[in-house]
Amino acid sequence: MGGRDATMVLLDENGIRCDGRKVDEPRRIMIKAGGLKNADGSAYIEFGDNKILVGVFGPRDVHPKHMSNTDTGILRVRYHMVPFSVGERKNPAPSRREIEISKVIKEALEPAVMLDKFPRTAVDVFIEVLQADGGTRCAALSAASVALADAGIPMRDMVAACAAGKVADTVVLDVNNEEDQAGQADMPIGYMPNLEKITLLQLDGVLTSEEYKKCVQVGVDGCKIVYDIQKKALQDKYFGNGGD
């Protein structure tokens, strides 16, 4: 949040944002379930200009063994950006940011996955960000849920994710990269619509308590839009023509 480009109009007099969207409009979202032959489950998401691939492996033996738990399975998540995913080459070594995002995605998925059904084993979720444009953690979390379902992992619900934020003193849905850099707040939300439970909520920026409540409401509504697209991706693969 820094007002990097003071000349950019984030919201014009007609309530239209810098990329032509209305305040409550998400970017274009496309999700495909499956696609990776060597993974037990997989998904690909395009969320605006974000392009992310997720592979799920397991439940499988845990190595190193001391990490296993006799009472429950464990979930391991690696979020990784490929070097060409951003304008300035990203070092392929894991950054602090990638370690943090891996952790928050893992914690956001854990309430959805029935880990107690497969003790002593691990489910590994590998996330590769091929192209990043703001909001990759939400897009990755949404795709990871679909990939877990595609792998047949027992789940209580899918986690759908979308950010809300504050741009030009206005609460908006799905903050893009420019809005994230020049706007006032960004609030990524992960939500399980059937269980009505939030599993991820972060906030970068400053909001009044009214704006905070509005952001949560707008973000949760965005998650419901994403959820329908996640379900459609699975329906297309298993009941439609999209199978592979």
Residues contributing to the site for ligand UDP (CB under 6 A): 86, 90, 97, 132-137, 177, 180
For ligand UDP, give the closer residue by CB, 32 or 137.
Answer: 137
Q: What's the closest the beta carbon of residue 19 comes to ligand UDP, in angstroms?
A: 14
CB of 154 to ligand UDP, least distance (A): 28
- Asked if residues 143 and 77 have their Cβ atoms less than 8 Å apart, the reply is no
Residue placing its CB nearer to ligand UDP in the complex, 74 or 159: 159
Q: Least distance to ligand UDP from the beta carbon of 174, Å?
A: 11
Residue type, 177: N
Nearer of residues 44 and 57 to ligand UDP, judged by Cβ: 44
Q: What are phi and psi of 239, to 5 degrees?
A: -125, -5
- CB 139 → ligand UDP: shortest distance, Å? 8
Q: Which amino acid is at 103?
A: K
In angstroms, give the least distance from the CB of 42 to ligand UDP. Answer: 21
Phi, psi angles (nearest 5°) of residue 188: -70, 135
- Whose Cβ is closer to ligand UDP: residue 115's or residue 187's? 187
Q: Which is nearer to ligand UDP, 177 or 237 (CB)?
A: 177
